Amino acid sequence: MTHFPDAPRAERHPFPRTHHGDTVVDDFEWLRDKDDPAVRAYLDAENAFTQASTAHLADLRQSIFDEIKSRTLETDLSVPVRHGRYWYYSRTVEGKQYGIHCRIPISHDDDWTPPDLASDDAREEVLLDDNIEAEGTDFYSLGSFDVSTDGRLLAYSVDTTGDERYTLYIRDLETGSNRADVVPNTFPGATFSPDASVVFYPTVDDAWRPDTIWRHAVGTDASLDIAVFTEPDERFWVGVGLTRSGRFLVLDIASKITSEVRILDTLDLEGEFRVVWPRREGIEYQVEHAVIASEDRLLIVNNDGAEDFHVVDVPADSPRDETAWRTVIPSHPGRRIEEVDAFAGHLTVEYRRDGLTRVAIIRLLDGAAPFGPIEEIPFDEPLFQVGTGGNPEWTQHTVRLGYTSFVTPSTVYDFSVADGTMTLLKRQAVQGDYDPDDYRQERVWATADDGARIPISLVSRRVDESRMPRPTLLYGYGSYEASIDPGFSVPRLSLLDRGVVFAIAHVRGGGELGRAWYEQGKTLAKKNTFTDFVAAADELIDSGRTSSDLMVAQGGSAGGLLMGAVANMAPDRFAGILAQVPFVDALTSILDPDLPLTVIEWDEWGDPLHDAEVYAYMKSYSPYENVRDDIRYPPILAVTSLNDTRVLYVEPAKWTARLRQAEAPVLLLTEMTAGHGGVSGRYERWKEVAQEYAWVLDRMGLASVEPIKNI
């Protein structure tokens, strides 16, 4: 049966394109013009059809929304972070969509214990209320948020359309009023100089690439701003930040495979940024300032001769003098070093080992051997993720950690460097009768066709193990070396409590198992990402954990490409496919250097415009080009946003239109006032999740199942 909505279909000429002697006729390229009334009418009609097709799930959607809301402590506080003379935190209020950013003064200089914000004498100062800023808008996103070191000024930026073009404002925190400084069309990442006289901020080019860093003198008109750096190579992004020490401003210039860092001494804000290491193709590095034995040094995490990276420290005034280099952390296969941070008396190191994130401490010592051993902070759950965050102070003697797992809600600790003790500061409240012991997390392994072992992380309610197969939601991503780590989710409980197993397939193209894992799932090895996901599905089916009529696949953005590819490759494995902002017209997008971010992407996917081999390879897997008329597709729900600048709405619009030609049971839902991250506001986001989860449960035959404790 064909599932065409009653949508207006304006007559359009097919769009032909020819590359490397190959001509493709695109019947649905006309959908690219979002200002065309016929395109808007088409998307509106698709939305109406999706809503009508899922109308029977209205009660389930409401139930899931109510469950999320009832489990969430709606009026809540973050853990305060000390910076300068204040403790900074944010809070939420029941009934309000957005957060409120606040601070209170510190009691005395040696006070490092976060205050009790519920006490009557807490002197709260509201810096920014996002609910007020969002009034009168259908979409709101906060971009930059930086308070000057002296605490007098706030630089913040907002986007009210979803297109990631932010307007930058400067607020006088002593008066609570915005100053005359207004800078339109910026990108997130504005940074004050230590003396608050200057704000450095990035802007984007026509392809939405952050390419220029500007210097804005506080109190002057934006027309007087000076571009301090512009990157002409379209493969590279730029960003700006301040070292924790406050000594250097840092320009990070990076493509997918190559980087360059430039630094500026903050004692000379009008000076020239100087290159730390000149860029070399394939060499990535990042820089942090440290003071070691009273000497200014730069810690450099890099992959020069070290696939999983190592760390060296070099003189800050002569970083290219190899005779003065010292190895801080040597390269070790299987230990992928991701970041090093420096404090006055210690370093923190973040890395991956055995597919999990880790944090370690290195003490700074006096004498000829200035670095202590790597002291990894232990955790006892089989699956977890941990990282540093909320550590802005140079002299602090604790390390703030964020920790979570599939069963442990988001948790904040302070780790004492002096004695190794861990202080629990806050654990995300889960309202109701949530008990982590009711749930089980584990890791199993699938074997790919080439012998690679694919880790799969699972979480479910504890049940009689003989009650198999079980409904399963299998999630995958597998691009950009991004790792999908096990973490807690309140909305996910609505699935788990209805008997669903949630699984993550850690496919190649991600970074879970080190740099080689990423390299084996990109460019001309990209198909490994797709076959790994199918292998994970097969393992779950063959082991009896689930069955094809009970398993739904989920992925978003580049993970949406994965969804489109497996729909064509293995449609019989799944009862449904949820594709969120899916990158499914990959070949068309990567062929067009005028589209946002395309040239940057060539290091990830290859360059099909100039390389015939890459063109043929991408054409062989790009979902839109490979929709088949001879197979039976599972039901597919594609969700997109009209103002998305990263994966244009036209990709899922064209893909679903082509799937309809193949008589696939497909639904398209377009958010008409949102960007790549979907709707804004927590309640609207809960509604969006409830809609997606209701559809997932329906595909598993669980639409009428009530959440119960003993399944």
Mode of pairing for the β-strands spanning 237-242 and 226-230:
unpaired
455 beta partners? 445
Position 709 confidence tier, pLDDT thresholds 50, 70, 90: low
Position 13 confidence tier, pLDDT thresholds 50, 70, 90: low
Please check the confidence at residue 317 and state whether its pLDDT lies above 90: yes
Which CATH code fits 16-69+433-699?
3.40.50.1820
Helix (H, G, I), strand (E, B) or coil at 421: coil
Residue 489: closest CA among 192, 267, 708, 693: 693
Position 655 confidence tier, pLDDT thresholds 50, 70, 90: very high
Please check the confidence at residue 120 and state whether its pLDDT lies above 80: no
Mean pLDDT, residues 447-461: 97
Please check the confidence at residue 121 and state whether its pLDDT lies above 60: no
Please check the confidence at residue 226 and state whether its pLDDT lies above 80: yes
With pLDDT > 70 as the criterion, what percentage of the chain qualifies? Answer: 96
Q: Tokens 């402590």 belong to which residue?
A: 73
Mean pLDDT is lowest, of 9-18, 285-294, 324-333, 631-640, for 9-18
- Count the residues in the chain: 711
226: CB partners within 8 A, 6+ apart? 214, 215
Mean pLDDT, all residues of the chain: 93
* DSSP letter string, 337-398: EEEEEE-SSEEEEEEEETTEEEEEEEEB-SSS--B---EEPP--SSS-EEEE-S---TT-SE
> CB-based burial of residue 628 (10 Å sphere; 0-12 exposed, 13-18 middle, 19+ buried)?
middle
Both structure tokens of 190:
């504005």
Mean pLDDT is lowest, of 69-83, 201-215, 405-419, 677-691, for 677-691
Asked if residues 360 and 338 have their Cβ atoms less than 8 Å apart, the reply is no
Please check the confidence at residue 162 and state whether its pLDDT lies above 60: yes
Both structure tokens of 277:
């290491």
Please check the confidence at residue 518 and state whether its pLDDT lies above 70: yes
Which CATH code fits 137-283?
2.130.10.120
Residue 241: closest CA among 126, 166, 155: 155
Sheet of 141-147, strand order: 141-147, 153-159, 166-172, 177-186
Please check the confidence at residue 710 and state whether its pLDDT lies above 70: no
**For position 9, what pLDDT does the model report?**
45
Mean pLDDT is lowest, of 121-130, 203-212, 701-710, for 701-710
pLDDT digits (tens, 9 = 90+) for 422-442: 999 999 999 999 999 999 999
Looking at residue 508, the DSSP 8-state letter turns out to be: B
Q: Cα dihedral angle (105, 106, 109, 114), rounded to 10 degrees? A: -160
Catalytic residues: 557, 644, 676
Please check the confidence at residue 711 and state whether its pLDDT lies above 90: no
**For position 98, what pLDDT does the model report?**
93
Position 310 confidence tier, pLDDT thresholds 50, 70, 90: very high
**For position 645, what pLDDT does the model report?**
75
Both structure tokens of 60:
């389930």
**For position 8, what pLDDT does the model report?**
39
Both structure tokens of 388:
């540093």
Residue 241: phi, psi to the nearest 5?
-160, 175
pTM assigned to the model:
0.93
Q: How many CB atoms lie within 10 A of CB 443?
A: 16
Q: Cα dihedral angle (48, 53, 55, 56), rounded to 10 degrees? A: 180
Please check the confidence at residue 2 and state whether its pLDDT lies above 60: no
| CA-based end-to-end distance of the chain | 35
Residue ranges, comma separated, of all CATH 3.40.50.1820 domains in the chain are 16-69+433-699
Position 10 confidence tier, pLDDT thresholds 50, 70, 90: very low
Mean pLDDT, residues 529-534: 98
**For position 368, what pLDDT does the model report?**
81
Mean pLDDT, residues 506-514: 97
The amino acid that residue 575 corresponds to is A
**For position 42, what pLDDT does the model report?**
95
Looking at residue 562, the DSSP 8-state letter turns out to be: H
Please check the confidence at residue 4 and state whether its pLDDT lies above 70: no
Measured CA to CA in angstroms, residue 678 lies from 31, 141, 292 at distances of 20, 11, 45
Position 250 confidence tier, pLDDT thresholds 50, 70, 90: very high
Asked if residues 81 and 89 have their Cβ atoms less than 8 Å apart, the reply is yes
Measured CA to CA in angstroms, residue 671 lies from 660, 668, 678 at distances of 20, 10, 7
Please check the confidence at residue 593 and state whether its pLDDT lies above 70: yes
**For position 150, what pLDDT does the model report?**
95
Please check the confidence at residue 153 and state whether its pLDDT lies above 80: yes
**For position 183, what pLDDT does the model report?**
97
Mean pLDDT is lowest, of 42-46, 196-200, 207-211, 397-401, for 207-211
Helix (H, G, I), strand (E, B) or coil at 242: strand
**For position 12, what pLDDT does the model report?**
65
Mean pLDDT, residues 274-298: 96
Mean pLDDT is lowest, of 55-64, 243-252, 455-464, for 455-464
Residue ranges, comma separated, of all CATH 2.130.10.120 domains in the chain are 137-283
**For position 616, what pLDDT does the model report?**
98
Residue 301: closest CA among 282, 315, 320, 288: 288
